[in-house]
Amino acid sequence: MALQEMTYRDALRKALADSMTENPDVIILGEEVGRYGGAYAVTKDLIKEFGPERVIDTPISEPAIVGAAVGAAMAGLRPVAELMYVDFIGMTMDQLANQAAKIRYMFGGQIGVPMVLRTQGGTGRSAGAQHSQSLEAYVMHTPGLRLAMPATVADAYHLLRQALTKPDPVVFIEHKALYTLKEMVDLDAPAPDWGKAAIRRQGRDLVIVTYSRQVHYVMEAAKKLAAEGIEATVIDLRTLSPLDFDTIRTHVEKTGRAMVVSEGVMTAGVAAELAARISEECFDFLEDPVIRVAGEDIPISVSTALETGSVPGPQLIFESAMKLLSSREAV
Amino acid sequence: MNQPQAVHRADAGSNSDLPQLYRMMRRIRTFEERVGELFVRGQSAGSMLHLSIGEESAAAGVCAAMRDGDRFTTHHRGHGIFLARGADPARMMAEIGGKEAGYCHGKGGSMHIADMGLGHLGANAIVGGGIPAVVGAGLAARHHKTGAISAAFFGDGATGQGILYESMNMAALWSLPCLFVCINNQYGMGTRIDQATANPRLHERAQAFGLAAETVDGLDVEAVAEAGRRLVDGVRDGKPAFLVIDCYRFYGHARKDKSPYRDPGEEETGRAKDPVAFARAALIERKVLEESALDTLDAEVAAEMDATIDFTVAQHEPPLSSMFRDVYAPGEPEPEPVRTRIDRILARG
């Protein structure tokens, strides 16, 4: 297959369809995944292709959706449970954190829980405080879970395909603002390794570590920085667990300066963990403090102005990098 | 789907199953007594030990209707169920003692014991936490056309958890081969069932979801076994069911709980509802087994269970190096220990 233009949504759908064709044990279960086609249309028409026994519309029962996926995975299926919004993850946290994440360990390695929990999060649709959050820290804070957050169309496809071959439970968080993202992709080209970060851009002055939608904002900011003579390396983590810290380390050691960008709220978040690790592990190479550019420590508003202001965007990232670089020059 | 019937079917009212049921109940009772002993001897790793004494008929009776390949989950008071599904009591005791020779190499203990070979998808320390897994196992059984059922065992306390109702609804909606077994020992920790619900007729809740549901007196293990058979036959045909076994938790919630919230009169009445003694008396009265034969049987069981203690005491704890194993699948990098990380960071240039 040659290069073709595809959306993030269609890449996800194709990943599900290809996995279901390849492996008859892959099933999908969740709210509105079948006849409705998915709240964000990712599973559109899959029920026609694979039937209602494999694309299962469920009642609005998030805990039991995840719990049933746990049992199905233990009994030999490869379930993809869909959680319509990551904001509902609190409803499912017992099944996810106490069951799925711990079963391999508690049972002495007898069995794993090879399930994928597909969900989406983030701002961008004025969806309000309970439908706009970035809750990946909850997942990253739970040993036993894997966490993938694709930023690109190709990664949406490859990471989901790979997630469906992994022996441990994978939480797969899409970004609601990326579904219409269109890129040219060749999905037959070799897939990047699972657990390996991508270098989206190389520069000598600082490293910006990010993931999911913020990758695009950071790239936009990096262009503006380049116009100011500042060259940034941009690292797209792709998966937060496993975390490719070696790539971060290599590039931070080269530039001596690091910024972490995350849409999730700052305090005790993913950005906090990444900044702490960079500070500890790259201490001798750092010329400045590691800067966190993260969501404000507030709920998300419906107002577009407040919503946009609550999370990092290209301008905040650009300004923060400029300040970081100029603080050095001032000394 | 229609599946072949279980091979060994006793007619209702026949005595043929009672000796086996009695033996299993005696094994459960004696095992639980030895668990208590393990605790007293300081050999139990867990302080969280929940004994099923008084509830033996639920485990022995329902499990008699299950067969190889069936899957199940249990709750925090699930030793008896696992034994009745064929567990090796020595490996169980070793797990309760936190020893490497245990079913989960000492990482699970009493409340997280499991064995995939026997279809045990796990005990659970979260009330109701193991219930939805049987819905998923039911989906898998249907998908793979194995004819297996999946059974969730839980206590009356779990009827306060929403996930039970979500799971029953799904099982009924999708006609899954799921059995929900509520062992009503009258207490969720220190709260009596009538202090936790306005309608203690628990099976009515399942009927509201369209499940076949009944309540059976746990005093009579034959009645439990008969109800189990009746419901399991339907479950295998995709008619999910709910069975309540009424019984009495003879002792406290956990080992150190002396039940100050129950008056002695209530406990005396409750403990008189003893399914093991009831079955023993029936065997003698119906002249199925003589008292001396039962004494011999009891002594055999006692010796079997004594050996589980000797076995456990002789076992070693898992090596510290196993601590980071099995967080993720084999072959995945293990998490880095805190001490190693600190040494690595401070050993810089």
pLDDT digits (tens, 9 = 90+) for A86-120: 999 999 999 999 999 999 999 999 999 999 999 99
Q: Could you tell me the pLDDT band of residue B8, with boundaries at 50, 70 and 90?
A: very low
How many percent of chain B have pLDDT more than 70? 94
Residues making up chain A, counted from first to last: 331
What is the identity of the amino acid at B226? E
With CB atoms and an 8 Å threshold, state whether B132 touches A64.
Answer: yes
> Higher pLDDT residue, A192 or B38?
A192
Encode pLDDT of B120-146 as tens digits. Answer: 999 999 999 999 999 999 999 999 999
Angle among Cα A10, A33, B142 to the nearest 5 degrees reads 120
Span A282-287, average pLDDT: 96
CB A149 within 8 A of CB A241: no
> Is B37 a residue whose pLDDT tops 50?
yes
- My answer on whether A12 and A49 are in the same domain is yes
Residues of chain A contacting B119 with CB distance shorter than 8 Å: none
CATH number assigned to the domain comprising residue A32: 3.40.50.970
Q: Is B136 on the interface with A (CB under 8 A)?
A: yes
Which CATH number belongs to the domain containing residue A310 in this structure? 3.40.50.920
Contact, B166 vs B174, CB < 8 A? no
Find the closest chain B residue to A62 by CA distance.
B166
User: Does one domain contain both A177 and A205?
Assistant: no
- Please state, in angstroms and rounded to a whole number, the distance separating the CA atoms of residues A71 and B150: 10
> Is A190 within the bounds of a domain?
no
pLDDT per residue as tens digits for the range B213-225: 999 999 999 999 9
In terms of domains, do A205 and A253 share one? yes
Which residues between 148 and 187 in chain B have a beta carbon less than 8 angstroms from any beta carbon of chain A?
A: 150, 162-163, 166-167, 169-170, 173-174
Predicted local distance difference test score (pLDDT) of residue B42: 76
d(C-alpha A116, C-alpha A229), whole Å: 43
With a pLDDT cut of 70, the percent of chain A lying above it is 98
Region A178-192 average pLDDT: 96
How many angstroms separate the CA atoms of B277 and B282, rounded? 9
Q: Which of A21-25, A145-149, B8-12, B274-278 has the lowest mean pLDDT?
A: B8-12
pLDDT higher than 60, residue B10? no
Residues A280 and A254 in one domain: yes
Rounded to whole angstroms, how far apart are CA atoms B64 and B58?
Answer: 10
> Which residues does A283 contact at the CB level (< 8 Å), separation at least 6?
B345, B348
Final residue belonging to a domain, choices A136, A157, A185: A185
- B140, part of any domain: yes
pLDDT number for residue B16: 75
Count up the domains in chain B and report the number.
Answer: 1
- The pairing of strands A78-83 and A291-295 is unpaired
Q: Are residues A155 and A205 in the same domain?
A: no
On whether both A26 and A167 belong to a single domain, the answer is yes
**Which residue among A94, A108, A110 sits closest to B126, beta carbon to beta carbon?**
A94
Residues A281 and A174 in one domain: no
C-alpha B58/C-alpha B52 separation (Å) is 10
Q: Is residue B316 a part of any domain in this protein? A: yes
Select the residue from A58, A74, A113 to test the B interface by mutation, using most B Cβ atoms within 10 A.
A74
Domain membership flag for residue A29: yes
Q: Provide the shortest C-alpha distance from residue A70 to chain B (in Å).
A: 6
CA distance A55 to A81: 10
Residues A224 and A149 in one domain: no
Contact B128, B158 (CB under 8 A): yes
Q: What is the mean pLDDT of chain A?
A: 97
| pLDDT value for A68 | 98
Q: Is A62 a catalytic residue?
A: yes
Residues of chain A found within 8 Å of residue B319, distances taken between Cβ atoms: none
Residue A229 lies in a domain: yes
Contact status, residue B126 vs residue A47, Cβ threshold 8 Å: no
**A175 is an active site residue:** no
User: Which residues form the domain of A142?
Assistant: 4-185
Kindly provide the ipTM of the predicted complex, given to two decimals. 0.95
Supply the range of the domain harboring residue B172: 18-346
pLDDT band at B40 (very low <50, low <70, confident <90, very high): confident
Residues A233 and A136 in one domain: no
Which of B170, B343, B345 is the best residue to mutate to test the A interface, defined by the most A CB atoms within 10 Å of its own CB?
Answer: B170
Catalytic site residue from A62, A82, A136, A174: A62
Overall number of domains in chain A: 2
Q: What is the pLDDT of residues B291-310, one digit of tens each?
A: 999 999 999 999 999 999 99
Based on the fold, state whether residues A137 and A69 are members of the same structural domain: yes
Quick one: A175 and A279 in the same domain?
A: no
The phi, psi pair for B64, rounded to 5°, reads: -65, -20
Those residues with Cβ within 8 angstroms of residue A50's Cβ, 6 or more apart along the chain or in another chain: A17, A20
Cβ of B136 and A73 within 8 Å? Answer: yes
A162 and A257 assigned to the same domain: no
Q: Are A296 and A310 in contact (CB under 8 A)?
A: yes
Specify the length of chain B in residues. 349
Residue A329 has pLDDT above 60, yes or no: no
CATH code (residue B227): 3.40.50.970
Side-chain-facing half-sphere of A276: CA atoms under 13 Å: 8
Of the residues A185, A217, A237, the one at which a domain ends: A185
Cβ-defined contact of B133 to A99 (cutoff 8 Å): yes
